[in-house]
């Protein structure tokens, strides 16, 4: 059923949508690519670059023209657009998205488009780039990367099958997960580290010895704070969209940090060494697994 | 007065002592290198590798044989050894060390070796390596790196002059700083980030969704947690040695983190964006300065 080429539509034509469009054309999964974007210039550029074949005049017009619809806009625009897509399904057999947070969107869909929810397969490609915009679109962006889908009992099997096939065609490894667990995992591994890096740099930047701090910081500090150079608007939106899971991860972290603080304050070297040692063991194991994944993948 | 070659002695012959010894012989700053280590095998290896010319039988014997004495042992061994060195100055004209924390050692010296304190120039090379042991000694380890010295009104000018010349001969850039400020700067840029990385990995390793967390963590998480793979014993000792400055930096960080937590909990997007944006600005500026330093240096 997933054999043969599909007409694929994108709501939002930036780096992620453009890269997926290029990958799907290159592998022959897509027979045609249509897109709508609130910015007409993005559509013009995508047409010029042959990333897309057609520009749609509206979201409902796009939904009438495609088998598979992908929402690929910034987080804050997602809720209104996914509802517009699901309430105007046209001839689309499935709708998916690429937002970093899944629970808030899914709850909005269940509340405001309960029938359309059967077509919706929430998705999150664990990939990105420092660049943005359709001109930076790269057909290889998702190759050997993971994509998490969070279908549940509401999801139509045909919709899941199509979205799974779409990401596989782009070279990604697809794994399914419960929507709440997705948001907890991403809060722990990505959203919380961003908040910690932003908080640290913010604290140091306001320190009375700020100049010496930044003068004597070196490569280790640069690595640790790299994510504090991320886009503030994107991370504002992610922090608010994943509020519950992020606060839970933050509070859990602070409990562990306070225990470490107590050990430092009371001079409890044995407790400090014990915590540092078990963290090192877990982190070394993670780094080995990640290196093995990269070797298998390349 | 610093012209001509010097006899240089090392108490502790590992990676740092061995690398400095190689650099000083290579540049001709040292006419001879003598070392003492609690581990006779380290001294034998250093003699075989021609990193040192002579092994001393005791710390006082070493002090009788050298112009300049360098303490280069792990943090925990430093206090007893620096006191033994300063209370048995022999013919040494200065004593320096390479410990990451300076205040605790300096306070111990003022209390227990107040006369010898004039010879002591506390030092901290901002350089290191994943490797350890004298076999990994590298004459280029300190080239283009910064060394912080924390002399004060007690320090004999001749001692400062010699230690400054020693590090300059090894290719390092020497900067002087108040001892308390050194410990605050290092707490902020190095010790606190290590504690945060250890606390985060420890919290995640004990999470009920631990397996999925480590399965879906990627390169950004690897960079952020790299320092949690550091030596637990070394970081236990540094955390305790720099207790006061580390707790101050930690409490300042937690205040900023709590403000961010409140903004997330109350959905205050404007406050979040504001903090993220000023942190990004400071971090981008730091990364540019660091890149410029590296360009100038190479």
| B88-120 residue pLDDT tens | 999 999 999 999 999 999 999 999 999 999 999
Chain A residue whose CA is closest to B191:
A221
Question: Residues near B233 by Cβ (< 8 Å), separated by ≥ 6?
Answer: A273, B74
CA distance from start to end of chain A:
30
Q: How far is A280 from chain B (nearest CA, A)?
A: 5
- Contact, A29 vs A1, CB < 8 A? no
Question: What mean pLDDT is reported for chain A?
Answer: 94
Question: Could you give the CA distance from residue A182 to residue A190 in angstroms, rounded to a whole number?
Answer: 11
Q: Give B240's contacts in chain A (Cβ within 8 Å).
A: 264, 267, 269, 272
| Residue B294: pLDDT over 90 | no
Per-residue confidence (pLDDT) for residue B297, from 0 to 100: 55
More confident residue, A224 or A131: A224
pLDDT band at B292 (very low <50, low <70, confident <90, very high): confident
Of all residues in chain A, the percent with pLDDT exceeding 90 is: 89
Q: How far is B136 from chain A (nearest CA, A)?
A: 21
| Residue A1: pLDDT over 50 | no
Of all residues in chain B, the percent with pLDDT exceeding 70 is: 97
Question: What mean pLDDT is reported for chain B?
Answer: 94
Cβ pairs A/B, distance under 8 A: 276
Cβ of A202 within 8 Å of Cβ of B275? The answer is yes
Cβ of B214 within 8 Å of Cβ of A239? The answer is no
Among B132, B182, B110, B161, smallest CA distance to B13 is for B132
Query: In this predicted structure, which of A146-155, A168-177, A216-225, A279-288 has the lowest mean pLDDT?
Result: A216-225
Question: Could you give the CA distance from residue A207 to residue A185 in angstroms, rounded to a whole number?
Answer: 33
Question: Residues near A200 by Cβ (< 8 Å), separated by ≥ 6?
Answer: A224, A225, A228, B192, B193, B196, B253, B256
Per-residue confidence (pLDDT) for residue B296, from 0 to 100: 64
Tokens standing for residue A190: 């990505």
Cβ neighbours around B93 below 10 Å, total: 18
Per-residue confidence (pLDDT) for residue A273, from 0 to 100: 98
- Contact, A257 vs B251, CB < 8 A? no
Closest Cβ–Cβ partner in B209, B221, B253 for A181: B209
Per-residue confidence (pLDDT) for residue A296, from 0 to 100: 64
ipTM for the complex? 0.90
Tokens standing for residue B16: 């740092």
Closest Cβ–Cβ partner in B204, B233, B277 for A232: B277
Closest Cβ–Cβ partner in B230, B232, B278 for A202: B278
Give the number of C-alpha atoms closer than 13 A to the C-alpha of residue B136, restricted to the C-beta side. 10
Among B51, B43, B57, smallest CA distance to B12 is for B43
Q: Which domains are present in chain B?
A: 6-177 (3.40.50.720), 182-267 (1.10.3660.10)
| Predicted model pTM | 0.90
Q: Give B186's contacts in chain A (Cβ within 8 Å).
A: 216
Per-residue confidence (pLDDT) for residue A24, from 0 to 100: 98
Kindly report, residue by residue over B198-213, the tens digit of the pLDDT.
Answer: 999 999 999 999 999 9
Per-residue confidence (pLDDT) for residue B1, from 0 to 100: 43
Cβ of B188 within 8 Å of Cβ of A205? The answer is no
Cβ neighbours around B211 below 10 Å, total: 10
Cβ of A229 within 8 Å of Cβ of B255? The answer is no
Kindly report, residue by residue over B119-146, the tens digit of the pLDDT.
Answer: 999 999 998 766 789 999 999 999 989 9
What value does the mean pLDDT take over residues B276-284?
97
Return the residue in B183, B212, B226, B248 with the most chain A beta carbons within 10 A, the one to mutate for interface testing.
B212
Question: Could you give the CA distance from residue A244 to residue A119 in angstroms, rounded to a whole number?
Answer: 26
């Amino acid at each position: 059923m997933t054999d043969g080429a599909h007409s694929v539509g994108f709501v939002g034509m930036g780096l992620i949508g453009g890269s997926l469009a290029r990958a799907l054309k290159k592998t022959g999964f897509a027979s045609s690519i249509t897109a709508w974007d609130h910015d007409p210039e993005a559509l013009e550029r995508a047409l010029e670059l042959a990333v897309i074949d057609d520009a749609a005049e509206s979201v409902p017009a796009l939904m009438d023209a495609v088998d598979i619809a992908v929402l690929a806009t910034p987080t804050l625009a997602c809720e209104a657009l996914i509802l517009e897509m699901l309430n105007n399904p046209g001839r689309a057999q499935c709708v998916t998205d690429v937002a970093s947070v899944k629970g808030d969107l899914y709850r909005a869909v269940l509340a405001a488009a309960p029938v359309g929810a059967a077509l919706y397969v929430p998705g999150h490609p664990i990939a990105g780039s420092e660049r943005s915009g359709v001109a930076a679109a790269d057909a290889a962006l998702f190759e050997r990367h993971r994509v998490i889908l969070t279908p549940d009992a509401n999801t139509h099997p045909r919709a899941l099958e199509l979205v799974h096939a779409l990401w596989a065609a782009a070279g990604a490894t697809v794994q399914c997960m419960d929507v709440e667990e997705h948001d907890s995992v991403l809060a722990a591994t990505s959203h919380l580290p961003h908040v910690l890096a932003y908080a640290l740099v913010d604290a140091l930047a306001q320190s009375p010895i700020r100049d010496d701090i930044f003068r004597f910081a070196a490569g280790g500090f640069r690595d640790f704070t790299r994510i504090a150079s991320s886009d503030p608007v994107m991370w504002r939106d992610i922090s608010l969209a994943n509020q519950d899971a992020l606060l839970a991860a933050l509070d859990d972290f602070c409990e562990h940090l306070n225990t470490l603080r107590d050990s430092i304050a009371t001079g409890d070297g044995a407790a400090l060494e014990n915590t540092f040692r078990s963290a090192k063991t877990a982190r070394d194991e993670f780094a080995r697994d990640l290196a093995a994944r990269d070797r298998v993948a390349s």
